[in-house]
Amino acid sequence: MFQLHPQLAKDSFPILNLPLSTVILMNDARFPWIILVPERPNLVDLHDLKHDDYNALTREIRGASKAMAALFTADKMNVATLGNMVPQLHIHIIARYRNDAAWPAPVWGKGVAEPYETTAAEARINDIRVALQGL
């Protein structure tokens, strides 16, 4: 049975569920940063997904990347699955700006996460939920 990895749960807020993936917001106000987690047990690498699930995931990645780019008028989207820290397969989708806190480096391990204020988190979650609904 699928269960969100406790580390991912701890670092994030739930946004919505897509047909395959649960979508969470990383609790780091420096970056508009969501994560897609396919709701299947025991996945580690991208190619572990069965064909239909892989196609569903890549469809959701495309839609989420496009929606996040538009919502945040990003300069560049970063899309990545690393999983060196948290083994459960999860896909980062991050809207980047040329003047953000890590540019041009990747966001991982750069500085310290800045947790959202409660109202800022609620507003961002709501904006993203609206943008991703129906994917």
**CA-based angle 79:81:84, to the nearest 5?**
140
- Which residue in the set 9, 44, 120, 123 belongs to the binding site for a second copy (CB under 8 A)? 44
Establish if 41 lies at the interface with a second copy (CB under 8 A). no
CA terminus-to-terminus distance, the chain: 24
Establish if 134 lies at the interface with a second copy (CB under 8 A). no
Residue 104: asked if its preceding bond is cis (omega within 30°), the reply is yes
Establish if 83 lies at the interface with a second copy (CB under 8 A). yes
- Which residue in the set 2, 6, 9, 45 belongs to the binding site for a second copy (CB under 8 A)? 45
Establish if 101 lies at the interface with a second copy (CB under 8 A). no
Establish if 61 lies at the interface with a second copy (CB under 8 A). yes
- Which residue in the set 104, 118, 119, 134 belongs to the binding site for a second copy (CB under 8 A)? 104
Nearer to a second copy, 25 or 57 (CB): 57
Cα-only R_g, the chain = 14
DSSP code of residue 86: S
Nearer to a second copy, 13 or 103 (CB): 103
DSSP code of residue 29: T
CB neighbour class for 110 (10 Å; exposed up to 12, middle 13-18, buried from 19): middle
Establish if 113 lies at the interface with a second copy (CB under 8 A). no
Q: Tokens 């979508």 — which residue?
A: 23
Q: Which residues would be at the binding site for a second copy (CB under 8 A)?
A: 44-47, 54-55, 58, 61-63, 65-66, 69, 76-85, 87, 96, 103-106, 108-109
